[in-house]
Structure 1
């Protein structure tokens, strides 16, 4: 067994004032109660809430304060994410800080929650980092998980634990809990999903293991969630199979070239037929638009191929 202890902090998040002081207090409490914890992570946009007016350039005072907290306790720290201002663009960015207080990685969310997370630019680079003598970790943020290619890519890069800060306060949280289990099952990894409360989400953080089993699921209240992971379970699952049955990573490796939908020169008429990425409106207004514009969606459905 190769144990590694992570604490997720599910806390109330304000959208109108800084949450940094409360994050530091929660971290003090966590390390006082559970001094054996080696890594702590917070939820998406925990520090300043979900509004882009709070965007900051990196490096910034918030990141520096989190670096000091990591040094103070000698822990790995993923302090959720904040909106990052870079030139005329805004990203949703998570920092990874090591026990020496050094920033070892910054990850920009690849799939902002369009069409709702308006004005946020997608990141382009995946993020993995190594914890010496423990294993490889990957970072994913909230809506990224809905695109299985993102978690699969991290797994192919060797990630054994996916750190997944989340901000979900919508009625699709049940869907996300199912996706978390599915992602850990088909990628044979741990997935550590921490959601916030109030303006930061509806809670129900979840930790799933490499065989898809739920290690812990929080409720709708503030919680500190210390979980000791056995990283060796990931390697055994990947070598011997999920529940000693399917070996999806090996099968993916052996058939990787067969997915023609990803080829750069491929056309996707059905996807084009779905129309633009816009917020849904009232059905009567959509019908009126169709009458005025001759149809809201300019691309007809593709004709299925003739059968032989």
Structure 2
């Protein structure tokens, strides 16, 4: 993971960064050919896109029979695809064999085809995902010249501590692959919006479609506003993260109103559920004082 300098966190950064979410209508089984073809199509049609995010477990579906070690054949193939097109690739997730257990794991692959991080789902969907071991580490990573990104997966969103922890580690964009095929998708859309607004971040929630999920992916901005909400079928969702806008929201409040990250940082309360004061965060400290916004 690249170093993050809290004293000058945005030096040399670009104001915008192109991401494409892939809501794909796939089936259970080996979908790597279809996923690779979709990535190639995005690279041709949207040359300004620098990162691609797919839905949870879209490579093979939810069957454990395709679980592999990492690095392994599936991950290495995805690395070649990322390098071929010069894109950051977050290919949903894969079931990973590790130390005798199975994890639901998202690799982060840079444009050179290198795995720079692997995030293991902290909250498997228990009791249904009962064979999956919980991860223990939050993952953030830097895109040079752009900003800091965090990863969470599907059911993680139901626990607000996950997004808050990623933002406290400096994340400005949460990349959130999902596999939801149940009737509670409308509730998850509400949670995606609330995660974005309470943490003043972009929240990119990409679901699967077709046989694997109900679609309805949603991309939210740092005020909780809906940038785009998909339907139930295959959709390619390119959009731009505006880092200048995000940082202005954090500095001044969305529409010049609430500055929740600063209030969270500055309040010394000890929460009964946790039994300890908030941990120090250089990312939150770098936001500056909590004060009335002035004229620009």
Which range moves more in the overlay, 255-264 or 152-161? 255-264
Instruction: Report the aligned-residue RMSD.
Output: 1.1
Cα distance in 2 for partners of 1:164, 1:231 equals 18
C-alpha displacement of 1:29: 1.0
- 1:8 corresponds to which of 21, 27, 31: 21
Q: After superposition, what is the alpha-carbon deviation per residue over 1:53-95, rounded to whole angstroms, capped at 9, x for unaligned?
A: 2211110111111111111111100011011111321100000
CA contact (8 A) 1:45 1:200 kept: no
Distance 1:152 1:256 in 2: 16
The higher radius of gyration belongs to: 1
Q: Normalization by structure 2: what TM-score?
A: 0.87
Instruction: List structure 1 segments (4+ residues) > 6 angstroms apart after TM superposition.
Output: none
SS at match of 2:17: strand
Shift of 1:258: 2.1
Equivalence for 1:270: none
> In the TM superposition, what is the alpha-carbon distance from 1:260 to its structure 2 partner?
2.4
Is the contact between residue 9 and residue 223 of structure 1 (CA under 8 Å) also seen in structure 2?
yes
| 2:6 match | none
Residues 1:49 and 2:61 are matched in the alignment: yes
Does 1:62 pair with 2:57?
Answer: no
Larger CA deviation: 100-109 vs 230-239: 230-239
Unaligned ranges ≥5, structure 2: 1-13, 277-296
CA distance 1:151–1:227, change in 2 (3 Å): same
TM-score normalised over the length of structure 1: 0.83
Q: Distance in 2 between matches of 1:204 and 1:107?
A: 24
Q: Give the structure 2 partner of residue 27 of structure 1.
A: 39
2:167 & 2:268 partners in 1: Cα distance? 14
Matched, 1:147 2:159: yes
Contact preservation (8 Å) 2:51, 2:88: yes
Residue of structure 1 in register with 2:117 after alignment: 105
Whether 2:93 is the aligned partner of 1:88: answer: no
Count of matched residue pairs = 263
Unaligned runs of 5+ in 1: 265-308
